[in-house]
Amino acid sequence: MRVPSRAAAALVALWSVLYPAAGAAAELSSLQAVGRPRALAADYFGYNGANLLYRVDWTTPQFLQTLALLRPSTLRYPAGTEANYWDWRKGWFAAGADLPPSYRGIRPKVDTNRLEDIRPALKAAGAKPLFVVNMLTSTLEEQLAMLRRAEGLGMPVTHVELGNEYYIGQRDHKAAFPSARDYALEANRWSAAIHRAFPKAKVAAVGASVVPEQASDPRWTGWNRELLPRLRSADAVTIHHYYSSGIGDTQFKPSREALPVRYSPSEVAVVLGMPFLAWSKLQQNGLALVEPDREVWITEYNLFDQGQPLPGTWMHGLGLAAATLLFTEDPKITLIQCHALIGNALFASVFSSERGFRLAGFTSPTEAPATVPFALSASGRALQLVGDALRGMTDVQRWTAPGSPTLQGRGGFAYSAVAAWSFGDGPRREAVLLNLSAGAQPLALPAALANGRFEQLSGAPLTLVSDSASLNHNQGRFAGKLDLPPYSITRLSLP
């Protein structure tokens, strides 16, 4: 059954008129398995629960309803940078903390971000917490007290992260941990103590983001090589993975201007290719450094480009879905958490207000529509299908479509227009298929994926997704073959 959207259909029609290749017929391609299925953690996918800047109560009924749609298995609390200054007893920043500039002007809002306050969100999502402890402005004893209090409230203490982004060379990070060696010594002490108090918990130390374009500070670039050989008690390391648009040199150039969302098909291909290019670099320059028996947790990831008006477009959502699915290809990665859960189109999957396209410090799109509070953004729409497919699954299989077109990314990087992954848990199977090209892609499905139900989202890549009517939504049954619309994500549910 197709759920029509006049606005979405009009945008797709306009794109096809402007770029006629979008309507070109494609030959039938066959999906082929890549290697063998591998194990996948049943609680693999979740969200960074950053919520302070947008001041939405965790108990808001509309928020809880939307959160349940995303199907996260974990929620990160109290999130990233906030955790380094957090007083868990009052659910706000520690008194006298030297806060980063972006947090100094926030009016305190206590009694909405305490441990007790996040329980409804965990219950609504059926999720477990990942706790980020405060090693910067608190003590080991106080953070153990937080974990004991959480356990007493019925929250399982299964995942603990030892702080956030200490590899960044800001003053208080350097004062507490002059080097990665100093951090490793403290991380060993804290992780050993946490393991004694909570034997079933896994503990992760802070690893550095490793994509070369993201750092020039020697503290940052040398962090992992100095840290990893010295870790003794940590089960895992965390990595934050942000990728650029690939267009120009704008990733770290703050902006207050607004620009129209105008990109050619070749530029769209560059943007959609960046998750694949960034993944290749992460594998080569980061994951290869981590010992085979140590887990990697990706506790933040998303598109990050301050100079392009891309956040909230449909190609942002499709690219983020691709980034999410690519992580499943490395067995070291056992947990991922998208940044962020709620806020504006910049990072969030759930809009917190009508002003979802007002992006402070980033280039906003001109003529942007108002957003619907608690509706899903472009990222949220795409990741809803991914979350449905991943939830509770214990194995993953990658598929390719050798007959599909090859697209050109940045610097001549080549990637396939069609990418697919299937997931299983005994007899239950799901799959997610992406078509990142401007043309429809008909697929012949293998026996393992031959029959079942499908759900598809598609739209013009430059669409600013503001509510549920922004995209084309199609669902029904399939047998043997299936057409993937241009710029689409498809979820298969198999009997």
Of 15-19, 116-120, 260-264, 265-269, which range is least confident? 15-19
Do 15 and 67 belong to one domain? no
Question: Which pTM does this prediction carry?
Answer: 0.95
Of 56-65, 160-169, 224-233, which range is least confident? 56-65
Assigned token pair, 491: 């979820």
Do 318 and 447 belong to one domain? no
Q: Establish how many alpha carbons lie within 13 A of residue 140's alpha carbon, considering only the half-sphere containing its beta carbon.
A: 12
Picking from 344, 359, 390, the residue at the C-terminal end of a domain is 390
Asked whether 459 and 378 are in contact (CB, 8 A), the reply is no
Q: What is the mean pLDDT of residues 205-228?
A: 86
CATH number of domain containing 432:
2.60.40.1180
Residue 18 pLDDT > 60, yes or no? no
Number of domains the chain contains? 2
Do 114 and 125 belong to one domain? yes
Neighbours of 28 (CB within 10 A): 12
What is the rounded distance in angstroms from the CA atom of residue 459 to the CA atom of residue 280? 27
Q: Is the peptide bond before 78 cis (omega within 30 degrees of 0)?
A: yes
Asked whether 439 and 21 are in contact (CB, 8 A), the reply is yes
What is the rounded distance in angstroms from the CA atom of residue 481 to the CA atom of residue 19? 27
Q: Which of 111, 50, 137 is nearest to 347 (CA)?
A: 50
pLDDT tens sequence across 312-333:
999 999 999 999 999 999 999 9
Do 113 and 14 belong to one domain? no
Residues 6+ apart with CB under 8 A from 427: none
Strand partners, 75: 47, 129
DSSP class of residue 446? P
Q: Which of 369, 370, 371, 380 is nearest to 339 (CA)?
A: 380
Strand partners, 483: 442
Q: What is the mean pLDDT of residues 105-120?
A: 83
Give residue 318's region: left, alpha or beta (phi > 0; psi -120 to 50). Answer: alpha
Q: What is the mean pLDDT of residues 44-49?
A: 96
Asked whether 127 and 46 are in contact (CB, 8 A), the reply is yes
Do 301 and 211 belong to one domain? yes
Q: Which domain holds residue 65?
A: 41-390
Q: What is the mean pLDDT of residues 133-147?
A: 98
Element (H, E) at 326: helix 314-326
Picking from 356, 390, 424, the residue at the C-terminal end of a domain is 390
Q: Torsions phi, psi of 77, nearest 5?
A: -135, 140
pLDDT tens sequence across 455-481:
999 999 999 999 999 999 999 999 999
Picking from 390, 422, 439, the residue at the C-terminal end of a domain is 390
Do 197 and 146 belong to one domain? yes
Do 28 and 50 belong to one domain? no
- Helix residue ranges per DSSP H, 198-252: 218-221, 223-227
**What confidence score (pLDDT) does residue 21 get?**
52
